[in-house]
Structure formats: structure tokens, C-alpha cells
Amino acid sequence: MDGLSPRDTVSLQSLFDSHHPPDDGLIRECVHCGFCLPACPTYLLWHEEMDSPRGRIYLMKAAAEGKISTMDESFVAHFDRCLGCMSCMTACPSGVKYDKLIESTRAQIERHHHRGLWDRFTRWMIFQLFPHPRRLRWLSLPLWLYQRSGLQRLFYKTGLIRLLPKRLQQMDSLLPTLDAPFQGFSYGTRIAAQGTPRLKVGVLLGCVQRVFFDRINAATIRVLAAEGCEMFVPPSQGCCGALATHVGREEQSLEAARRMIDTFDRQDLDYIVVNAAGCGSNLKEYGYLLRDDAKYAEKARIFASKCRDISEILTILSPQAERHALPMRAAFHDSCHLLHAQQLRTPPRSVLKAIPGLELVELPESNICCGSAGVYNLVEPETAHDLGQRKAEHVARAKAEILVSGNPGCLLQITKEMRDRGQPIRALHFIEVIDASIRGVTKL
Ligand code: SF4
Ligand code: SF4
């Protein structure tokens, strides 16, 4: 096993500090049966035990017992390579809470491991930009000009793009086509329901999504209004902290959670609606994340109990808006944070199946991540690409006209991977498809 030496095995000092180390009780719930191995994307790629859920739990245990003495590159790499997709949790018959284990391990790594300069710089850059919708809003202008002027095309045509470091190339290739700069900030704080209000909901706009995927938020608001939801859409809302939670930036994640709770406080809402799977699974964890915070623990628990994915809301509400026919073949991609982290397999499918004429195609390996996984495809571009190509192969074989998913990160990743194969496909959030059906739009 990497990272173990005879000297390491005699140390009894835990590698972790006392602030929420991976819980020993949770670690012991793993009975090493190996049922999770075929469900793990990194194990599928490399067949390395230490890049499987069981191997990672073994490493956590060894580190906690002081059998590993340093948090060196090889130790950290096994955890960096984990996508946090939680496919292992769905597969595990013993109910091992791997999400809690990886979350606390990553926070320990962030506190104690000194990353290389370039790694620190790119992570710093990502976290200076992505969780800040107002900064992204300004950035959208030069990016829009870069695309509109033809400069981006020229970079690819001349091969100049290959002179950039791999992570910057990856960021560029994932950049969606911007219709206009400065999008995502035009909604009123209160939006009325059409007809008699049936629910009063808060709407989360997201940070990256708000600027780069305003079309998804616009579709969400139209569908909620058509289904009788009165909406509270606070313009001051920021990032929910999902990206920070995912990589172990604990303080940043908790601060974002507290701000989000304050933003929606005292509104007497039935639900808070989310249309990005990664954000949704993080919001539902607020009670756990803020469990030590005397001021916020209770508020966080109540907030989390009201959070619902948009597919859950549409399942709660029986449809009142007419669905028009959309005669087309759509490949459905499960986002890991809907399927595994939130255990929502049926709701997105059932709301799509209510559309007349829409043929939903299931993909093989639907439980396996596409490689997007928060900022994973930016910090681990090669692995993300290998998984993305595996997914794209299945999408191509489905011979569908569109690809549908419930998470903007997956849409970006699969769009890029299909383009790389020379088989571009239109990728849409399922709420856009429902919106099109309600509005009678047949050209997607
Ligand atoms: S979260 Fe995903 S990548 Fe990580 S160990 Fe579990 S299945 Fe493997
Ligand atoms: S399936 Fe669960 S109990 Fe079995 S090895 Fe994986 S994590 Fe451990």
C-alpha cells in the first residue's frame, strides 16, 4: 500500500487533529465486503484498491490509528482522486456514511497538507471567482467578448490553446457559450404565482449557474409560476458553499451556509427550491454542517428540512399547467448528487414522463459519474476526461436528439466530451424541457 513504511506502522499519533476527525464509529461500520468497488468510478478506471471506497476507508483508519505518519502527496492523492459522487453509498449494504467520512478527511487534508504552488494558485483562483456571482458577472463581459470576437475560435484553430496549462485549457473548454454578458440579476424579489397560489417557495439561483446558466433559472421560475408557486427570490443571495464543502474548505463552507440561512430567514416559506443537484445536496446537509454552532444549529436544521430539488416540488404539486407534446428522443443522465447524495431517482423521470411524445432513453452505467463533480473536472482534468469519454460513449450509442440532466455541471461536462468526440449534442436541464412543453415550444 502507498504511504506505509515500517517506521510509520509503529507511530501511535493520529494523523488527524481533534476537530472532527473521520468518525471511528462510521469507519468501523465498513465490513470490507467490497460491494462498493464496481460502483466506484476511480476503481472502475484503475482497479487500484486504494482508489476504491473500501481502500480509502482503510487509509482513513490507518491514519487515525497513527499507522501512517505523514500526510504526503501519495496519501492525499487517493482522496483528491475521489469524486465525492457517493455512488459507493448507494451500493453499500451496510449503510456506511462515506459522505461524512470523506468530508471530514478532506477538511483535515486542507488544514494539514501543504499543496504545491500551482495547485494552491488554481484552487485559490477558483475560490476567488466561482462562489462570487457578482465577480462572475463582471467576468462575463471579457468572456463574452472573447467568444464573440472569434478569439476563442482562433485559439483552437491555431493550436495556441495547447500552450496554456492543462487546468486553464480545461476551464476554457468547459466555458458555455454566453448569449450576453451580465445575465442573472434581473429577477424581482417577489414573483407572483399564476392563478391561486398553491405554495410559497424560496428560489436558489446559484453562483456559477446564475451567471452562466440563467436560462435554467428563468425556466425554473416560469414553471414554478405556472404551477401556482409564489416566489421569494432574494437578489442578495450568494453561494451555498457546496464547492467549498466538496474540497474541505470548512470555514468558507460554513460561512456561506450562515449567509444563505440569513438571506431566507423569516420568510414563512413552505419550501426552498434548488435546481442544481450539487447545491441541493449541500443545502440538505446544513443541519449537520452547522451542528456545533449554537446560534445557527437549529435554524440550519429547519432550513435544511425545507430544501427540495425542483423535481421533488413538481412531484408534490400535481400538474396544473398543460403539457404540450414534445416528440423527441432524450437521453437521461443521472446527476450523482441527485441519484446518490439525495437518492432522487424517480422524481426527475416521472416529471419528464408526463410530457406527451417525449421518449426517455436510459443510459448504461447510469450510476457512474460523468467526471464533473463540483470542481473535480478543473483540478483533476485527466481523470474527469476519461470518465467523461466513458459517459459520452453511452450517450452517443443512445442516438438521442437531446441529453437531459438535473445538474448544470453535468451538462457542461457532457457537452464538452461529446464535442471532443465530434458528436455534439444539445444538453438541457430537465426543467428547460418541462418549461418548453408548458409553453408549447417544440424546437429545443
Ligand atoms: S465517492 Fe465516488 S469516487 Fe469516491 S469512493 Fe465513493 S464511489 Fe468512489
Ligand atoms: S460496500 Fe460498504 S461495507 Fe462493503 S466495503 Fe464498501 S463501504 Fe465497506
- pLDDT, position 12: 66
Closest C-alpha among 151, 153, 125 to residue 139: 125
Instruction: Give 6's pLDDT tier (boundaries 50, 70, 90).
Output: very low
Q: How many A from CA of 56 to the centre of ligand 1?
A: 9
The ligand whose atoms approach the alpha carbon of 383 most closely is 1
Counting ligand 2 atoms within 8 A of each CB, the residue from 86, 92, 99, 101 with the most, and so the one to mutate, is 92
DSSP letters spanning 412-439: HHHHHHHHHTT---EEEEHHHHHHHHHH
Ligand 1 neighbour 57 (Cβ under 6 A): no
Ligand 1 centroid from CA 87, angstroms: 6
Q: How many CB atoms lie within 10 A of CB 210?
A: 24
pLDDT at 11 over 50: no
Q: What is the pLDDT of residues 355-413, one digit of tens each?
A: 999 999 999 999 999 999 999 999 999 999 999 999 999 999 999 999 999 999 999 99
Give the tens place of pLDDT for each residue, 34-63. 999 999 999 999 999 999 999 999 999 999
Arithmetic mean of pLDDT over the chain? 95
Which ligand gives the minimal distance to the CA of 28? 2
In the chain, ranges of CATH 1.20.1050 domains: 190-315
CATH of 322-439, one of 3.40.50, 1.20.144, 1.10.10, 3.90.550: 3.40.50
Output DSSP code: residue 38: G
Ligand 2, atom 6: closest residue by C-alpha? 36
Q: What is the pLDDT of residue 318?
A: 87
Residue 118, classified by CB atoms within 10 Å of its CB into exposed (0-12), middle (13-18) or buried (19+), is: exposed
Q: How far is the CA of 29 from the centre of ligand 2 (A)?
A: 8
Q: Which atom of ligand 2 is nearest to the CA of 29?
A: 3
User: Which mutation among 37, 52, 54 tests ligand 2's pocket best, with the greatest number of atoms within 8 A of CB?
Assistant: 54
Q: Which amino acid residue places its CA nearest to atom 4 of ligand 2?
A: 33
Q: b or e along 329-356 (b: 16 or more beta carbons within 10 Å of the residue's beta carbon)? A: ebbbbbbbbbbbbbebeebbbebbeebe
E strand or H helix that includes residue 188: none
Tell me the C-alpha distance between 340 and 384, whole Å.
Answer: 18
CA of 82 to the centre of ligand 1 (A): 5
- In this prediction, residue 7 carries a pLDDT of 41
d(CA 105, CA 10): 22
Distance from the alpha carbon of residue 124 to the mean position of ligand 2, in angstroms: 34
For the CA of 89, the closest atom of ligand 1 is 6
Q: Which CATH number fits domain 190-315: 1.10.3210, 1.20.58, 1.20.1050, 1.10.10?
A: 1.20.1050
Residue nearest to atom 3 of ligand 2 (CA): 30
- Domain with residues 6-112, CATH architecture: Orthogonal Bundle (1.10)
Q: Do 275 and 338 meet the contact criterion of CB atoms below 8 Å apart? A: no
Regarding the beta carbon of 38 and ligand 2, being less than 6 Å apart is answered: no
Q: Is the pLDDT of residue 2 over 70?
A: no
pLDDT tens-digit profile of 269-305? 999 999 999 999 999 999 999 999 999 999 999 999 9
Q: How far is the CA of 316 from the centre of ligand 1 (A)?
A: 31
Decide whether any atom of ligand 1 lies within 6 Å of the 60 Cβ. Answer: no
What does the pLDDT read at residue 389?
98
Q: How far apart are CA 437 and CA 53, in angstroms?
A: 41
pTM of the model: 0.93
99 Cα: distance to centroid of ligand 2 (angstroms):
13
- Pocket probe for ligand 1: among 59, 85, 336, 365, the residue whose CB has the most ligand atoms within 8 Å is 85
As to burial, measured by CB atoms within 10 angstroms (0-12 exposed, 13-18 middle, 19+ buried), residue 404 is: buried
Q: Is the pLDDT at 4 greater than 70, yes or no?
A: no
424: left (phi over 0), alpha (psi -120 to 50) or beta: beta
Give CA–CA dist 26/327, Å, rounded.
48
Ligand number nearest to the C-alpha of 341: 1
DSSP 177: P
Q: Where are the CATH 3.40.50 domain residues in the chain?
A: 322-439
